[in-house]
């Protein structure tokens, strides 16, 4: 096929969390523009295995952009050049024959590299464990529409709940701050009546966890919003600021 491309990949190699890591370069011939980026990496790994080398380790699961497992930095951009997509939904047609592509893992102190492009994102789970939930009796499902919620609030809550926890906001932020993630998790509950009883506790505890884990401070440059595959709005960060400050100033009063 004449439309096939030749891509030079410069990718991050790191044996484990304690290894210093380095870049390695490998050419991938015969790349179809219809392939996804991850399929191209599968092809790279086939070639590496044939050469007797260790394949490149990267995370992926659903490969349809909804699970939040995949993600790394492509040519300096989290999830690559397109807006509103994860790496698994990025196709090689967005690159040109002869391109040199640099691939790096998310870089943040709370996201240590496990191997190559795989980082440990359990810091996100620890933030959720600190307060990103509601305490209710589970069991039988509640009646639909038993609690009236306005269409506007439902839409806002749903937009925030679209966060898949991929970590691109942290990767793209120059301060490695996870405020967009925390704000999405705070907002999707803050808009709903079920989230209100624990709102003070939630905002305070999640932000304290955010800081304990070593994420940076938000400086409102909105690069996270641009990098987010689910296009979560930074207005959620303003909402988180409101929730946090209100909680801090009123909980002891």
Partner 1 sequence: MSQNRAGTLPPPGQLIPLEIDESAVGLSNLFTLSIGRKWLMAIMGLVWCAFIVLHLIGNLLIYLGPTEYNDYSEHLTGLGPYLWIAEAVFVLALLVHLVLSIVVTLQNWAARPVKYRVDKKKGGRTIMSSTMIWTGLVVLVFVVLHLVSLKFGEVGLRDEKKDFHGAVIALFQNGGYALWYVLATWVLGLHVSHGLQSSLRTLGLNNRRIEPKLKAVSAAFGWIVAVGYSSIPIWAYLFLGA
Backbone angles phi, psi at 5, to 5 degrees: -115, 160
- 25 contributes a contact to partner 1 by CB under 8 A: no
Query: Given the complex with partner 1, which of 34 and 220 has the nearer CB atom?
Result: 220
Build a one-symbol-per-residue string for 50-79: x at contacts with partner 1 by CB under 8 A, - elsewhere. Answer: -----------------------x-xxxx-
State which of positions 130-159 bind partner 1 (CB under 8 A): 130
Q: Is 242 an interacting residue with respect to partner 1 (CB under 8 A)? A: yes
Number of amino acids touching partner 1 (CB under 8 A): 72
Q: In terms of DSSP H, where are the helices of 80-198?
A: 122-131, 151-161, 168-172, 179-190
Distance (Å, whole) CA 172 – CA 195? 29
Q: Which is nearer to partner 1, 47 or 247 (CB)?
A: 247
Residues 98-127 close enough to bind partner 1 by CB under 8 A: 102, 104, 107-110, 112, 114, 120, 122-123, 125-126
Residue 17 touching partner 1 (CB under 8 A): yes
Strand (E) or helix (H) holding 236: helix 235-250
Q: Measure the CA–CA gap between 185 and 215, rounded to whole angstroms.
A: 16
CB atoms within 10 A of CB 23: 12
Interface residue with partner 1 among 49, 62, 129, 147 (CB under 8 A) is 129
Query: Applying CB under 8 A, does 30 fall inside the site for partner 1?
Result: no
Coil/strand/helix, residue 91: strand
Q: In what order do the strands lie in the sheet with 77-78?
A: 22-31, 5-13, 100-104, 73-74, 77-78
Q: How far apart are CA 150 and CA 134, in angstroms?
A: 20
* Residue (32 or 101) nearer to partner 1, CB: 101
Q: Which residues contact 148 (CB under 8 A, 6 or more apart)?
A: none
Binding flag, residue 233, partner 1 (CB under 8 A): yes
**Nearest CB to partner 1, comparing residues 117 and 239:** 239
Should residue 92 be labelled a site residue for partner 1 when binding is judged by CB under 8 A? no
Shortest gap between Cβ of 250 and partner 1 (angstroms)? 9
């Amino acid at each position: 096929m004449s439309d096939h491309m030749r891509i030079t990949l410069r990718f991050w190699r790191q044996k484990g969390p304690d290894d210093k890591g380095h870049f390695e370069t490998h050419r991938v011939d015969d790349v179809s523009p219809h392939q996804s980026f991850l399929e191209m990496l599968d092809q790279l790994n086939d070639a590496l295995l044939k050469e007797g080398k260790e394949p490149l380790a990267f995370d992926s699961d659903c490969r349809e952009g909804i699970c939040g497992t995949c993600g790394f930095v492509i040519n300096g951009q989290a999830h690559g050049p397109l807006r509103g997509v994860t790496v698994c939904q990025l196709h090689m047609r967005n690159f040109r024959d002869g391109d040199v592509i640099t691939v790096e893992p998310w870089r943040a102190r709370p996201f240590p590299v496990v191997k190559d492009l795989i980082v440990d994102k359990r810091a996100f789970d620890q933030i959720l464990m600190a307060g990103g939930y509601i305490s209710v009796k589970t069991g039988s499902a509640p009646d639909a529409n038993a609690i009236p919620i306005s269409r506007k609030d439902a839409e806002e809550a749903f937009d925030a709940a679209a966060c898949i926890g991929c970590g691109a906001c942290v990767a793209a932020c120059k301060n490695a701050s996870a405020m967009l993630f925390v704000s999405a998790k705070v907002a999707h509950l803050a808009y709903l009546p079920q989230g209100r009883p624990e709102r003070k506790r939630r905002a305070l505890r999640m932000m304290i966890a955010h800081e304990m884990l070593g994420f940076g401070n938000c400086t409102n440059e909105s690069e996270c919003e641009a990098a987010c595959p689910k296009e979560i709005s930074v207005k959620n960060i303003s909402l988180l600021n409101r929730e946090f400050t209100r909680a801090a100033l009123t909980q002891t009063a």
